[in-house]
């Protein structure tokens, strides 16, 4: 048996010079186009639509998507770089809002007809239209198979009734990739359909007020005899569940990266602060208790990041990682729970103040172990695979 | 219009704290983040904009080692068509005149209508542009903050002069211009561009390719030598404004008026 490694380096490498150049460019973009305004956008509960256009121009929105629909193909680590550098905005809400296409578009690409792809994908990758994914309902989130919003065929249309909640980008979305019940109970009665905002019977609530992710608008969507053309149905009727499930692997990977970056930013802020903050005649780093705390934070961030990269590499190589990505998400979230908590602790009272980034990171972190599948759902998935 | 832009890889002053090393011979270079010199980036953007208007091509050139290839690739990702790396052990330790001599040899290998440099480099002495023009016996304008292509023989170039004033000149092509920051708004390097240039071969020319002898360039030929690097002693003259924000702003306006900063 031969063992040949693709990289000339003996250690595992994920990022080439080209990835590093993308990283530098995006850091520059975030520094100039996002950081000066992010405080304002957080308070406003959203950001201007022109930001989508700018992000598209620099290639953020198209990364990883096929060239024929305006995307920029690249291996999975380009997408990792994009998520990591977007997180340098210090606002998970901004990243989730801008990135809502990354959960809305993949089902269209995997299940849609060429006409549907041509119609819905290029405008989103160009930053001209905003796409969102709508699955969760007031009656349930994780239990996708029990969703209750119905779509009943009426001639050339489906008539949709029901509601969706916690929908990222709901108030700004031009269209949503929406899960509806077209058949009987359970997973086999679910379809995915693209619903355009402004369709008759379509309405959106006020923005929901949240603990964190303020820069992301989150709202409820109501369907009251909402009429949607049958040509908007993705794939065959009652086949939507698999499209939803296929999405989860990359969504969970993105959430793992977001958790790692949340922890990393909190750790970096805590390090900077601990070096300069003086108490009882010494800097915070002059005390072993703080040094060790910072070391533990750095160790956890390092271990979680490396694990996530490994899972990403395997997903990139086409190896199913349902178990591992669930583990990566849970581990990364447990790390960001601890590290954001400790970072606030190092800042003391200042860490509880709006003006410090660790305060936002601490709030933004909370959703990561809930969205895209809760910690408990992740554990159920893992248990089914190892028990 | 065939345009050549001379660029340089420099420590990124926005990403690094620059410190003098322990023996005062250089700055501390461990862990430095490098980037393209800011002035050069404006020059490349201007060149791309000229090309977009009147056609032609943009070539970026740098004197450096293989690490410098990254700045060429960056500028090509931005929109420059070609890159040339001028690399040779014999180039090491060149002074400004040496660098200008190397660039002159590279210019003469091509057929350029317009040669741009940055007005200065973060770690340089603002001398290469002028020297390069003199060596090539071409007209030159420094601190250029406006370019308008009149026709294929002439440019109109604006220059920044003392006291925030501006002058406008006509200059014949071919010529050398050194570009001031603020002449345009350099575009971001897009991911699409980066992906496009990732595997492009960048030609490298050494001393013999350029017909340069060791006596003309490198440390041996350098007649300007740096003696020392040091942080000057702190002087007087800083005044900390006290009071509320409104009071500080009022005092600042008063001071700026008194010293002629606001007319």
Q: In sequence order, what are the beta bridge partners of B60?
A: B5, B83
CB A143 within 8 A of CB A241: no
Evaluate whether B130 touches B119 at the Cβ level (below 8 Å): no
Where is A42: in which H helix or E strand? helix A38-44
Question: Is residue A259 domain-shared with residue A276, that is, in the same domain?
Answer: yes
Cβ proximity of A267 and A359 under 8 Å: no
Q: How far is A273 from chain B (nearest CA, A)?
A: 17
Residues A138 and A119 in one domain: no
Minimal-distance CA residue of chain A relative to B191: A59
Which of B194, B196, B199, B200 should one mutate to test binding to chain A, selecting the residue with the greatest count of A CBs within 10 A? B194
Contact residues, chain B to chain A, C-beta under 8 Å: 35, 70, 73-74, 77, 188-192, 194-195, 198
Q: Which of B74, B190, B198 sits opposite A59 (nearest CB)?
A: B190
A43 and A98 in a single domain? The answer is: yes
Number of CB atoms found within 10 A of residue B203's CB: 10
Q: How far is B113 from chain A (nearest CA, A)?
A: 30
Q: Kindly list the residues of chain A whose beta carbon comes within 8 Å of any beta carbon in chain B.
A: 16-18, 21-22, 24-26, 28-29, 57-60, 62-63, 72-74, 78, 82
Chain A nearest-CA distance from B79, in A, is: 13
CA distance A115 to A111: 12
Same domain, residue pair A97 and A28? yes
Pairs across A and B, CB distance < 8 A: 51
d(CA B152, CA B55): 11
**Residues B192, A78: C-beta atoms closer than 8 Å:** no
Domain final residue, candidates A215, A241, A267: A241
pLDDT (tens digit per residue) in B111-147: 999 999 999 998 888 999 999 999 999 999 999 999 9
Do A110 and A140 fall within a single domain?
no
A209-241 CB burial, b ≥16 within 10 A, e <16: ebebbbbbbbbbbbbeebbbeeebbbbebbbbb
* DSSP-based three-state secondary structure for B54: helix
Which alpha helices (H) appear in B118-190, and where do they start and end? Answer: 128-136
What is this structure's pTM? 0.89
Segment (H or E) for A347: helix A322-347
**Catalytic, out of A84, A85, A251, A359:** A251
Is the Cβ–Cβ distance between A71 and A125 less than 8 Å?
yes
Do A172 and A293 lie in one domain? The reply is no
**Residues A137, A199: one domain?**
yes
Q: Is B254 exposed, middle or buried (0-12, 13-18, 19+ CB in 10 A)?
A: exposed
- Domain that includes residue A217, residue range: 131-241
Tell me, yes or no, whether A247 and A201 share the same domain: no
CB-based burial of residue A111 (10 Å sphere; 0-12 exposed, 13-18 middle, 19+ buried)?
Answer: buried
Domains and their CATH numbers in chain B: 2-221 (3.40.50.620)
The last residue of one of the domains, among A125, A159, A176, is: A125
Count of domains for chain A: 3
Q: Chain B: residue nearest A56 by CA?
A: B190
Q: What is the pLDDT of residues A285-335, one digit of tens each?
A: 999 999 999 999 999 999 999 999 999 999 999 999 999 999 999 999 999
Partner-chain contact A21 B73, CB within 8 Å: yes
For testing the chain B interface, which of A21, A31, A55, A75 should be mutated: the one with the most B CBs within 10 Å? A21
Of the partner residues A18, A28, A82, the one whose CB lies closest to the CB of residue B188: A28
pLDDT reported for residue B32:
86
Helix (H) or strand (E) holding B143: strand B140-149
Q: Are residues A270 and A180 in the same domain?
A: no
Partner-chain contact B191 A57, CB within 8 Å: no
Instruction: Among A101, A125, A149, give the residue marking a domain's end.
Output: A125
Which pLDDT score is estimated for A7?
52
Indicate whether A248 and A382 sit together in one domain: yes
Identify whether residues A228 and A275 lie together within a single domain. Answer: no
Check whether residue A29 and residue A82 sit in a common domain.
Answer: yes
Which of B73, B186, B188 should one mutate to test binding to chain A, selecting the residue with the greatest count of A CBs within 10 A? B188
CATH value at residue A312: 1.20.140.10
- Please indicate whether residue A251 is annotated as part of the active site: yes
Subunit contact B191:A18, Cβ cutoff 8 A: no
ipTM of the complex: 0.85
- Residue A215's alpha-carbon distances to A48, A91, A203, A211, A371, in angstroms, are 10, 7, 21, 11, 16
CA distance B118 to chain A (A): 20
Locate A222 and state its tokens. Answer: 């109501």
Strands (E), chain A: 131-134, 150-154, 157-168, 175-181, 190-196, 202-204, 218-229, 233-234, 278-279, 282-283
CATH of the domain at A190: 2.40.110.10
CATH number at residue A103: 1.10.540.10
pLDDT tens, N- to C-terminus, chain A (387 residues): 344 554 555 567 899 989 999 999 999 999 999 999 999 999 999 999 999 999 999 999 999 999 999 999 999 999 999 999 999 999 999 999 999 999 999 999 999 999 999 999 999 999 999 999 999 999 887 888 889 999 999 999 999 999 999 999 999 999 999 999 999 999 999 999 999 999 999 999 999 999 999 999 999 999 999 999 999 999 999 999 988 888 889 999 999 999 999 999 999 999 999 999 999 999 999 999 999 999 999 999 999 999 999 999 999 999 999 999 999 999 999 999 999 999 999 999 999 999 899 999 999 999 999 999 999 999 999 999 999
Query: What is the token pair recorded at B184?
Result: 């345009």
């Amino acid at each position: 048996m031969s063992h040949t490694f693709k990289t000339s380096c003996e250690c595992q490498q994920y990022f080439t010079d080209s990835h590093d150049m993308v990283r530098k460019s995006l850091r520059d973009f975030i520094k100039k186009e996002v950081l000066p305004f992010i405080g304002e956008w957080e308070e406003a509960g959203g950001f201007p639509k022109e930001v989508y256009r700018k992000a598209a121009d620099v290639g953020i929105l198209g990364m990883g998507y096929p060239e024929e629909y305006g995307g920029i193909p690249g291996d999975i680590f380009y997408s990792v770089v994009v998520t990591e550098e977007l997180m340098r905005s210090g606002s998970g809400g901004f990243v989730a809002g801008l990135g809502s296409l990354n959960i809305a578009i993949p089902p269209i690409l995997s299940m849609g007809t060429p006409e549907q792809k041509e119609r819905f994908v290029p405008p989103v990758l160009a930053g001209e239209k905003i796409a969102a994914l709508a699955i969760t309902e007031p009656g349930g989130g994780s239990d996708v198979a029990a969703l209750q919003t119905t779509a009943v065929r009426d001639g050339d249309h489906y008539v949709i009734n029901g509601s969706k909640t916690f929908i990222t980008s709901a108030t700004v979305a031009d269209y949503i990739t929406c899960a509806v019940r077209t058949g009987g109970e359970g997973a086999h009665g679910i379809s995915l359909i693209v619903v355009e905002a402004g369709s008759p019977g379509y309405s959106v609530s006020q923005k929901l007020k949240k603990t964190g992710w303020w820069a992301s608008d989150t709202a409820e969507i109501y369907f009251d005899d909402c009429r949607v053309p049958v040509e908007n149905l993705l794939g065959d009727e009652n086949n939507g569940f698999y499209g939803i499930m296929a999405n989860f692997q990359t969504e969970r990977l993105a959430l793992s990266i977001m958790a790692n970056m949340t922890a990393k930013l909190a750790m970096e802020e805590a390090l900077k602060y601990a070096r300069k903050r003086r108490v009882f005649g010494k800097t915070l780093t002059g005390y072993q208790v703080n040094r060790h705390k910072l070391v533990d934070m750095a160790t956890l961030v390092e271990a979680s990041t490396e694990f996530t990269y490994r899972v990403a590499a395997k997903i990139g190589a086409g190896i199913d990682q349902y178990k591992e990505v669930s583990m990566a998400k849970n581990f990364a979230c447990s790390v960001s729970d601890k590290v954001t908590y400790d970072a606030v602790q190092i800042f003391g009272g200042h860490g509880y103040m709006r003006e410090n980034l660790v305060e936002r990171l601490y709030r933004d972190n909370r959703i990561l172990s809930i969205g895209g599948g809760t910690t408990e759902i992740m554990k159920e998935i893992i248990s089914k695979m190892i028990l | 219009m065939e345009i050549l832009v001379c660029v340089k890889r420099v420590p990124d002053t926005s990403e690094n704290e620059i410190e003098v090393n322990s023996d005062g011979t250089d700055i501390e270079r461990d862990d430095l983040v490098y980037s393209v010199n800011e002035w050069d980036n404006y020059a490349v953007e201007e060149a791309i904009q000229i090309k977009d208007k009147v056609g032609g091509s943009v070539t970026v050139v740098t004197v450096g080692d293989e690490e410098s290839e990254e700045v060429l690739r960056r500028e090509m990702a931005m929109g420059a068509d070609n890159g040339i790396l001028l690399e040779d052990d014999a180039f090491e330790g060149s002074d400004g005149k040496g660098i200008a001599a190397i660039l002159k040899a590279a210019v003469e290998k091509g057929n350029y209508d317009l040669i741009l440099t940055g007005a200065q480099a973060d770690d340089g002495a603002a001398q290469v542009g002028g020297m390069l023009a003199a060596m090539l016996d071409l007209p030159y304008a420094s601190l250029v903050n406006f370019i308008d292509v009149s026709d294929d023989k002439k440019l109109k170039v604006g220059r920044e002069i003392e006291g925030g004033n501006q002058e406008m000149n006509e200059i014949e092509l071919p010529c050398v211009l050194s570009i001031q920051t603020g002449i345009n708004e350099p575009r971001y390097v897009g991911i699409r561009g980066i992906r496009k240039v990732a595997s492009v071969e960048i030609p490298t020319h050494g001393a013999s390719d350029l017909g340069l002898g060791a006596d003309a360039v490198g440390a041996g030929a350098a007649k300007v030598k740096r003696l020392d690097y040091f942080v000057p002693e702190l002087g007087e003259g800083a005044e900390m404004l006290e009071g509320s924000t409104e009071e500080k702003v009022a005092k600042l306006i008063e001071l700026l008026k008194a010293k002629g900063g606001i007319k």
